[in-house]
Amino acid sequence: MAGMLVSTKVKDTVGVQMHKVQYLLSAATASVGSLLGWSFNYFPAQNMMLINVPSPTADGNIQFVSNDVIPTQPWAIFQNMPAQCWKLFGNDILYGTADGKVMQAWTGSRDNILLDGTGGDAITSLIQQAYNYLGESATQKQVDMYRLNFITSAPDEVIYSSVMLYDFALQTALTPNALAYHRESLWDNAIWNQDYWGSSGTIQKNVWNQALGLGYCASIAMSMKSTTEVIWVSTDFSYKHGGLL
């Protein structure tokens, strides 16, 4: 999903850049530092560093997660995973739940699959990108259009919705809608110059969306529901700068 740590590289050394999360981490240790469940984990096959932060509420623990394959080591926050503790088993990421279950994370494209490989539920996610000043922090901007670029092999199994936010607002709920995409054409049935060529089983979606509002910094929030692997490749913006006021 958004924020996926997808890479074919495996780093043999670990250097942690903590300055981007030091204030969040300080606030968390001050408020829940005495609770059981703190852990620092490194998963080399996924190039992922994870700090498990315990929670006293029913919402469950959160995780501060760093993508170690990118030089800037960007951080994200995972929420609403029922993970109480984490463990590396071979190259697999395992976590334990409050009711005593052992789950495998970061694998497959469905939740709650049984040991025999049957069953499973669609994965529903809510993702918000980091805020971006778009080159100038002192001026207002208006994003006219934006485009989320995905790669997936099964577009019929993906729906999403997105919204443009400004000035550090947080999106807490968003319902996925139908996703527009180009169907691949059938050989000997397609109409020349009207239908779409196939792409070796991988379809990239390029749908421009109209944005509303203005502000100094912008962020995209997206809700997605899928039963197949989806890679959020990039995001494109069309915007204009305003004045200082």
> How high is the pLDDT of residue 56?
83
Question: Residues 151, 68: one domain?
Answer: no
Collect all residues with Cβ–Cβ distance below 8 Å to 221 and sequence separation of at least 6: 126, 127, 128, 129, 162, 163, 165, 171, 174
The pLDDT profile of the chain, 245 residues, written as one tens digit per residue, is: 334 444 444 444 555 677 778 888 899 999 999 999 999 999 988 888 999 999 887 678 999 998 877 777 788 889 888 899 999 999 999 999 988 999 999 888 888 888 888 888 888 888 888 888 988 888 888 999 988 888 887 777 788 888 888 888 887 767 776 544 434 444 444 545 554 444 444 545 567 888 888 899 999 998 888 888 888 888 888 998 877 66
Instruction: Calculate the CA 100 to chain-centre distance.
Output: 27
Report if residue 154 sits inside a domain: yes
> How high is the pLDDT of residue 52?
95
Question: Residues 237, 141: one domain?
Answer: yes
- As for how many domains the chain has, the answer is 2
Report if residue 119 sits inside a domain: no
Contact 232, 220 (CB under 8 A): no
Question: Residues 216, 138: one domain?
Answer: yes
Question: Residues 139, 235: one domain?
Answer: yes
Distance CA 245, CA 242 (A): 8
Report if residue 15 sits inside a domain: no
> How high is the pLDDT of residue 1?
38
Question: Residues 174, 226: one domain?
Answer: yes
Cα angle 143, 146, 149 (rounded to 5 degrees) comes to 155
Distance CA 195, CA 186 (A): 9
Report if residue 136 sits inside a domain: yes
Distance CA 171, CA 188 (A): 46
Q: For the segment 172-211, what is each residue's pLDDT rounded down to a tens digit?
A: 767 776 544 434 444 444 545 554 444 444 545 567 888 8
Residue 230: strand pairing partners: 152
Domain boundary among 107, 136, 165: 107
Distance CA 122, CA 137 (A): 39
Contact 63, 81 (CB under 8 A): yes
Name the 3-class secondary structure at 30. helix
Report if residue 215 sits inside a domain: yes
Question: Residues 131, 225: one domain?
Answer: yes
Domain hosting residue 68, numbered range: 22-107
> How high is the pLDDT of residue 16?
62
